[in-house]
Structure 1
């Protein structure tokens, strides 16, 4: 596999309005995931089937619902009433997936509905152009690589629980990193970038990050438990500034590239279920 410079990356914020009272659970990632696959299935059943059955990392991410009530939820979740507005963010990293999404939006028009929990939402619109929303934009892999800067300080917001899965080792069945250790954050992004684009950022980059990239500042970091189906997944979220001390290295540009890429790819595990939403500040 060789680097694909034309691969499109899209981040879309879908604005929703409640059309039927109901509850959504405290974490909605799995339900939002299912609602998105239903949307794709209506436009391209074969593509939706491949996404559902694939064991590989899938070429999209989904946020938790945005704009939920500020009041404390109860055990059943959030009570939403007709007229309440919310939003769902999608990133689409496959041209066929983006086309299917657009086809469904255009074909259904104002009649398009999404069901999350026992709440039915109408789709009021979708924002996907640069500047239309802080979490919306589009680019290509070539443009992203060309635009990568050489800033030694990189500030990032991890907006939903984020965890790096290091896999099994010996008696440890699951090793999750819940704090923003640069070595693990950028190793995860390097792997995601290489798999998606066909690029070959070398493993030496990870060793350089381990030696020369540190956390300069952490703001409002907290850990949370994220419920997905019948399992629980811990994660961390907050505002972090990373700093590269070896500012003359060509790896600094790679560091910036991967920080920019996180906007589209998410960071860590379960990004198709609401975890790992991230962007630069």
Structure 2
């Protein structure tokens, strides 16, 4: 059951601020909280091969920016993609009394499951869409593999890369069989019809490991549309809608467990051009 848990915090010392990049710090703090109560679960989070069953954001304020002196609230969000993880993870987060990110200590104000939907419910709610879009809140990008030469970052959210990765995560965690299987027509729709139709993007840096140079990714907004949508089967259009909603739980791109690829969905379009609010 995909779930997003939001942990709202306040600094133990008024006015204290964390470092500008908190992705690794939040990841370390969450793993430490799990390790204190469920070492087996902490090991599962740490050792799981990609795609991992969870996502994390860095610390964000009410404007979805790194905390600053004038921030009213501070939070991080944890996405879970496996049903059995919710109860033990939620309990660990709920009972943690102090969160340390870098040298800054925080007191928890609230731990809330703000978005929960079963895989079956997500699939049942999907309807054909000819356009989908995202607001990229934290930098989103893809890394080249070791066999592709020098390790490089691909920061542009190309539609094929984005939806291949989302489909892989759906296949990895959705219960197999029946209505939850993505249609075979989706692959061709993504590879041969999906294109960028609008974007307002900029390149931003994201720290993934202390004492290592940050990587780059895109933040901003992007919309994808189906070229010659009339040739795309309705089941593929519905699967596109489904994966766009799933992205709010699963994240976009690489390194989603250390704060990259946190996104929300923009209103889309159904066949005929009507906007569909989300």
What is the TM-score when the length of structure 1 is the normalising length? 0.82
Given that residues 28 and 64 in structure 1 are in contact (C-alpha distance below 8 angstroms), is that contact kept between their aligned partners in structure 2?
yes
Query: Which residue in the other structure is 1:26 paired with?
Result: 20
Distance 1:26 1:139, change over 3 A: same
Match of 2:186 among 193, 205, 223: 205
* Offset of residue 244 of structure 1: 1.2
Query: How far, CA to CA, are the matches of 1:152 and 1:196 in structure 2?
Result: 25
Runs of at least 5 residues in structure 1 that lack an aligned partner in the other structure: 1-7, 129-135
Query: How far, CA to CA, are the matches of 2:63 and 2:168 in structure 1?
Result: 36
Cα-to-partner distance string for 1:36-90 (whole Å, 9 max, x where unaligned): 112222331221122223344321111111118999x9xxxx7769x96311111
- The number of residues matched between the two structures is 256
Query: Which residue in the other structure is 1:155 paired with?
Result: 133
Which range moves more in the overlay, 21-30 or 138-147? 21-30
Given that residues 164 and 176 in structure 1 are in contact (C-alpha distance below 8 angstroms), is that contact kept between their aligned partners in structure 2?
yes
Task: Please list, as runs of the form range in 1=range in 2, the aligned pairs for 1:248-267 lying within 5 A after superposition.
Answer: 248-249=232-233, 250-267=235-252
Task: Please list, as runs of the form range in 1=range in 2, the aligned pairs for 1:1-281 lying within 5 A after superposition.
Answer: 8-20=1-13, 22-67=16-61, 85-107=73-95, 112-128=97-113, 136-170=114-148, 172-197=149-174, 199=176, 201=182, 205-219=186-200, 221-229=201-209, 230-231=211-212, 232-245=214-227, 246-247=229-230, 248-249=232-233, 250-281=235-266
Query: Which residue in the other structure is 1:132 paired with?
Result: none
Query: How far, CA to CA, are the matches of 2:216 and 2:92 in structure 1?
Result: 34
| Structure 1 vs Structure 2 CA RMSD | 2.7
Distance 1:24 1:114, change over 3 A: same
Q: SS state of the match for residue 74, structure 2?
A: strand
Runs of at least 5 residues in structure 2 that lack an aligned partner in the other structure: 267-278
* Offset of residue 218 of structure 1: 0.7
What is the TM-score when the length of structure 2 is the normalising length? 0.82
Query: How far, CA to CA, are the matches of 2:91 and 2:130 in structure 1?
Result: 41
Query: How far, CA to CA, are the matches of 1:42 and 1:95 in structure 2?
Result: 21
